[in-house]
Chain A
Amino acid sequence: MSDIPTKGASPQYFDAAGEGSGLANKRASRRQFIKGVIASGTAISTAGLVFGGLGGCSADSPPVNVGGVERLLSLNVNGQIRRVDVLPQETLAMTIRYKLGLTGTKLGCDRGECGACTILVDGVPTYSCSMLTQSVRGRSITTIEGLEGQDGRLHPVQQAFIDELGPQCGFCTPGQIMSAVALLETNPNPTREQARVALSGNLCRCGAYDNYINGVMAAVGRV
């Protein structure tokens, strides 16, 4: 999606006075408009849009595919092989959320800036909004749903995040947890500073960083 709306048409402005000269000048000559309206031809990235068959939620609608043909892939998600039709431009976040029904992975920005969509690909924390599904064939994917044991036992990081009251609104939480799990897999004894760095790719607008890092440190030794 484009940043600034450009759909339909865009105006052009003409600045007769040569603006930018400070407030006092502005009143002397109001800016004038040229009403010439030009058509816009903005290219829109479709990677962040919901497309394709939508795994059942639009079962009765005609299949309308844009930008390519779906291909059947086998994905290894949370230890299970899942067969799924995937478009060439489809991101892993979209596949996970809309085709596999795993909505624990969140979309905060859909462009690699916030970390809400963090999952593990072969154990490495990865922004799933910024990875094409077709590129993860044969690799092992873990989402937040894959951490809980079969018996309903929480992963030690999940339990520690409860004990330390990590989440506030909770929207960034799955991403924070995935980053923490990856850290403790590779470095079972991190310092607080190392934990801060490991989770620094996960923005939390609620600002709950202190509690999250407390959670990571509480999980040390429990993993």
Chain B
Amino acid sequence: MSTQAGSKSAVPHVLDIRDLCVRFRTKRGIADALDHVSLSIPKSASVGLVGESGCGKSTLMKAAIDVLAENAEVTAGSVYYHDLDLLAAPAETVRQKRWAGISMITQSALNALNPVKKVGDQIVEAIRAHRNMSRKDAWARAEEMLQLVGVDPKRAREYPHQFSGGMRQRAIIAMSLVLSPDLVLADEPTTSLDVIVQDQIFRKIRSLQEELGFSLLLVTHDLGVVIENCDRIAVMYAGQVVEEGPVDQVVNTPFHPYTLGLKNSLPRIDAVSEPIAIPGGPPDPIEMPKGCRFAPRCPFAQDACRQTKPELVSVGAGHRAACIRQAEIPGLRAEAAKIGTWAKVAVKSEEVVE
């Protein structure tokens, strides 16, 4: 409780995840999904969470509302929603916070709707799990929310299979806001949609946020989406937050080589150079590298990197990064923008395989 007071005095946080460790029991062994992850979401802010597939973004979100899979185990850490530690609170207390306080737009919004129930009923059910409201009033509220996200309220009587992908996504967004939560977790809310609908949805989310004032944790693979929609960004790699700070600082002056690599994958305005992908793939969560987890793919890796685990340290105002060589990074940024720098790693990692 003593550390909590410190963080609270500066900015009021809606969600404060501290030192969270999550493991999965699998047939092959223990998968190390989250390793001492800390992340705070200030009131009314949008925080973007980026990282490759499998780095633990969804796990972090599910842990935050205590709905992890059965084979998951939280081995350390806490998740504070305002003053309440959700991981220590009684189940019924946590249940009451879900949706009414923290709602979530899941990654597979298409499958999140029950195929045999009317869309309106699924919204009504969420309302009535938390509010003492008549079915009729709840239904009216559901229709109102659908209208707000641009779905014809009459369609509340239809089943999910009668909705298009974009409409289902909007229905989920409507549902996520129906109880006016102060935090919305959005896990790749637009993955399965085409670019135009994707754009509409983000614009909708942004305008709703301005109107309703909720905080947003937005997970995406796409750095561009974060730049457009968020105030802060956290970059995850292999179950750890490797860099975190205000979006403009992190994007313009990244301090972690992984962030540098991600930035290269953005399409450039000058269009002279092709986007560069980071060669190789993330480590096996069952056998994580001992020191820096990014070392096998990092063009600037040294022996020290493989020995000691880098800690998150401050590299600017509200900006932290976890790289042993962070002090040298400003001098390496130009090199990191060259394709040859990353190609060398590709050759090296292929050698290891052979």
Verify that A and B bind, or say they do not.
no
